[in-house]
Amino acid sequence: MANGKRKVASTALGVAVFLLGSAVLLYPEIDSCVAQRSASEMVSDAMAKDARDADAQATEGNGRAKSGDPAYRYLLHYNEKVRNGNGGAINDPWGIGADVSGLEGMGLEEDVIGSITIPRLDETLPLLLNATTDHMAVGATVISGTSAPLGGQGDNCVIAAHRSVWHGLRMFRDIEDMELGDLLTIDTLWDSLTYRVVETKVISSDDADALRPQAGRDLVTLFTCHPYRHNYQRYLVICERVQEGGTQEVPRGIARLVVQAANPSDSPDLVMERWIRVGGLLMMLVMVTAGVVVLVGSSLRGRRGKVLAGHARGNGHAKGMGKSRPPARAGGSGD
């Protein structure tokens, strides 16, 4: 009886430890999924509100009409000033602080101009004008002093986001995973623009020249702190506009975790985190496998015991039937 109670307690403890470990491992992914859904809803709500405000205008293609749109006209004029070197100081959101003088008064809902989708990072982020503290808490931001995301020769839209998980969103944490040829898409109120990665580089925190437009090129530059958990450098992913982006297949699930952990990185803290996640996942798989083996083994032992018990009862019955009774004594009469 005592052995049975100890066995039940041991099993319950094992299940509790497994569930706790699973929760610790899975919580970041679940939190990320919830945050990603909230971010998508934020973009949808903001863009739907802007679309309702523009109902009186004719639409062009799948987006809001450009002609007669004061926000689009303002941003076109702003981009022209940036190309001419008159767009104002380029703001480093982790340096001198956010300068919102270049992009303000757009009338856009919550300053959301659209979204940026990066298949390699497996996420879609809201894209907001101005790299303010509040804006960077909810998505990716266009750095003031650089081009707005309209697409045009001589433009360079520099998009900044945090390097760590922020309110459940991974932001640009895994930016070092991006490879030459990777695609990203920017969806705005007016267009869907596709860009291909052509270069990655690390710059000093005060190198504003690396963020300036380049004549004849339509660029988007992703911008974040480097190395991971530090901010004394900046990591850039430079992307150039393509007309036909196509689709991009990237690893998912366990394969993605392993590939990420094996990728070379200048960020030792990030590498350590990734291997911890892989190790935790492997431990969980080992525990699941061990649990299945124990359950199957216990079931087989129980079944074997029943079979043996049945055989024993059958043999005992057969032996009982095989025993001969002593012959009855014959009694004779005295005739």
> What's the CATH code of the domain at 90?
2.40.260.10
Do 259 and 119 share a structural domain?
A: no
Q: Are residues 276 and 200 part of one domain? A: no
The reply to whether 258 and 234 lie within a common domain is no
Q: Which residues pair with 224 in a beta bridge?
A: 235
Within this chain, do residues 182 and 267 fall inside the same structural domain, yes or no? no
- Interaxial angle between packed helices 268-322 and 253-262, expressed in degrees from 0 to 180 and rounded to the nearest 10: 130
Q: What is the pTM of this model?
A: 0.68
Higher-pLDDT residue of 64 and 312 is 64
The average pLDDT across 275-287 equals 72
d(CA 88, CA 147): 11
Judged on CB neighbours under 10 Å (0-12, 13-18, 19+), 213 is buried
Write the pLDDT tens digit of every residue in 87-115: 888 877 765 444 455 555 566 767 889 99
Q: What is the pLDDT of residue 239?
A: 98
Please check whether residues 100 and 54 belong to one and the same domain: yes
* Contact yes or no for 197/245 (Cβ under 8 A): no
Coil vs helix vs strand at 29: helix
Residues constituting the chain: 335
| Least confidently predicted of 48-52, 156-160, 213-217 | 48-52
273, 165 contact by CB (below 8 A)? no
Residue 209 — very low, low, confident or very high, per pLDDT cuts 50/70/90? very high
Is 323 within a domain? no
In the chain the first and final C-alpha atoms are separated, in Å, by 70
Is residue 125 located within the same domain as residue 35?
yes
Percent of the chain whose predicted confidence (pLDDT) is above 90? 33
Helix (H, G, I), strand (E, B) or coil at 330: coil
Distance CA 78, CA 157 (A): 12
Q: Kindly state whether residues 267 and 151 are assigned to the same domain.
A: no
Query: What integer is the mean pLDDT of 74-86?
Result: 91
Domain boundary among 218, 250, 282: 250
Domain membership flag for residue 26 = yes
Can you tell me the mean pLDDT for 59-76?
Answer: 77
Tokens, residue 52: 């309702």
State the CB neighbour count (10 A cutoff) for residue 264: 6
- Where does the pLDDT of residue 280 fall: very low under 50, low under 70, confident under 90, or very high at 90 and above? confident
Judged by DSSP in three states, 200 sits in strand
**Do 177 and 278 lie in a common domain?**
no
pLDDT tens by residue, 219-251: 999 999 999 888 899 999 999 999 876 777 776
194 CB neighbour count, 10 Å cutoff: 19
- Alpha-carbon distances of 161 from 79, 136, 235, 264, rounded to whole Å: 21, 6, 11, 22
How would residue 188 be classed by pLDDT, with cut points 50, 70 and 90? Answer: very high
Q: 23 and 118: one domain? A: yes
Question: Which residue, 214, 233, 250, sits at the end of a domain?
Answer: 250
Q: Looking at the predicted structure, is the pLDDT value of residue 57 above 60? A: no
Dihedral over Cα of 288, 292, 294, 295: its sign: positive
Span of 87-101, 115-129, 165-179, 310-324 with lowest mean pLDDT: 310-324
**What pLDDT is stored for residue 245 in this prediction?**
67
pLDDT at 97: 47
pLDDT over 90 at 192, yes or no: yes
Give the pLDDT confidence score for residue 335 in this predicted structure.
46
Residue 42 within any structural domain of the chain: yes
* 261, 277, 294 - which closes a domain: 294
Torsion of CA 238, 240, 242, 247, to 10 degrees: 0
State how far the Cα of 109 lies from the Cα of 124, in Å rounded to an integer: 18
φ and ψ at 75, to 5 degrees?
-70, -35
Query: 282 and 167 in one domain?
Result: no
If you average pLDDT over each of 5-14, 95-104, 289-298, 302-311, which comes out highest? 289-298
Residue in the structure block whose two tokens are 């124990």: 294
Whether 330 is in a domain gets the answer: no
Instruction: Judge whether 320 lies within some domain.
Output: no
**Residue 129 within any structural domain of the chain:** yes
DSSP 8-state class, residue 169: B
Cα 189 versus chain centre, distance: 24
The residue written with tokens 């689009």 in the block is 72
- In 3D space, the residue among 99, 92, 97 whose CA is nearest the CA of residue 205 turns out to be 92
- The confidence score (pLDDT) of residue 317 equals 57
What mean pLDDT value characterizes the chain?
77
In a domain, 170, yes or no: yes
Helix then strand then coil, in percent of the chain rounded to 5, is 45, 20, 35
User: Per the domain annotation, does 315 fall within a domain?
Assistant: no
Pick the range with the lowest mean pLDDT from 78-87, 143-152, 253-262, 324-333: 324-333
| Domains in the chain, number | 2
116 band by pLDDT with thresholds 50, 70 and 90: very high
DSSP three-state, residue 302: helix
Do both 104 and 221 map to the same domain? yes
Give the pLDDT score at 56: 46
Structural domain of 258: 253-294
Contacts with 97 (C-beta within 8 Å, 6 or more apart), sequence order:
91
Of 72 and 323, which is predicted with more confidence?
72
- Check whether residue 87 and residue 232 sit in a common domain: yes
Alpha helices in the chain (DSSP H): 2-53, 70-83, 133-136, 253-262, 268-322
Work out the average pLDDT over 134-160.
94
